[in-house]
Amino acid sequence: MASPDDNPFAPPSEAAELVERDDSKDEGPLTNAPLNARFVNFLVDSVCIYALSTSSAALFALADFKLAGAAALLVSVSARLTYLPFFEYVFNKTPGKWLTRTRVVRVDGGRPRFMQILGRTLARYVPFEPFSFFGSSHSGWHDTWSGTRVVKDTR
């Protein structure tokens, strides 16, 4: 019989939070990123994803073999599914967030776990998710559902 502590989707325990959070620098209170910065993040990252996926797909299209179209599609989809998780997990920010000086954190201010970043990414594919910013909380479903938020980077 498995114990409740074996659930990989359970919130981190109090002891785990203390280990995961980097308290070496006291940043003070974290301020949520303004909506205009979030919109710039979206635009810059969309352009980067588009450029990455189309350029990699174009390389396969230039190759003259029978499965070039299928390979180009596979590479394009892979680029779209790996761009955000890679940058947000490794650096806590994407190129768009570097530009606007913002970063992704857990709701409590700690470093997000990989499953939270993966949840953020997959939630972005929910239809009408971009419209979730028009609600009273001014945060997207991908933030709320994954237990993360985007804050101004004061480091």
Give 45-55 pLDDT, tens digit per residue.
999 998 988 88
Give 60-98 pLDDT, tens digit per residue.
777 766 666 777 778 778 888 899 999 999 999 999 999
Region 120-127 average pLDDT: 89
Question: Considering only CA atoms, which of 96, 116, 107 is closest in space to residue 49?
Answer: 96
Is the Cβ–Cβ distance between 132 and 152 less than 8 Å? no
Alpha helix positions (H), 24-152: 35-62, 68-90, 95-100, 114-123, 141-146
Question: How does residue 106 score in pLDDT terms, banded at 50, 70 and 90?
Answer: very high
Is the Cβ–Cβ distance between 109 and 21 less than 8 Å? yes
Specify the range with the lowest mean pLDDT, choosing from 4-8, 40-44, 144-148: 4-8
Tokens of 1: 């019989």
Specify the range with the lowest mean pLDDT, choosing from 31-40, 47-56, 136-145: 136-145
Query: Count of CB atoms within 10 A of residue 127's CB?
Result: 6
What secondary structure does DSSP assign to 6-23, as a single string? G-TTSPPPHHHHHHHS--
Question: How high is the pLDDT of residue 17?
Answer: 43
Whether pLDDT at 42 is above 50: yes
Question: How high is the pLDDT of residue 62?
Answer: 76
Question: How high is the pLDDT of residue 70?
Answer: 77
Domain ranges, ordered by start, for the chain: 32-152
The pTM of the full predicted model, rounded to 2 decimals, is: 0.73
Tokens of 94: 């994407």
**Cα separations in angstroms, 121 against 86, 118, 141, 148:** 10, 5, 11, 12
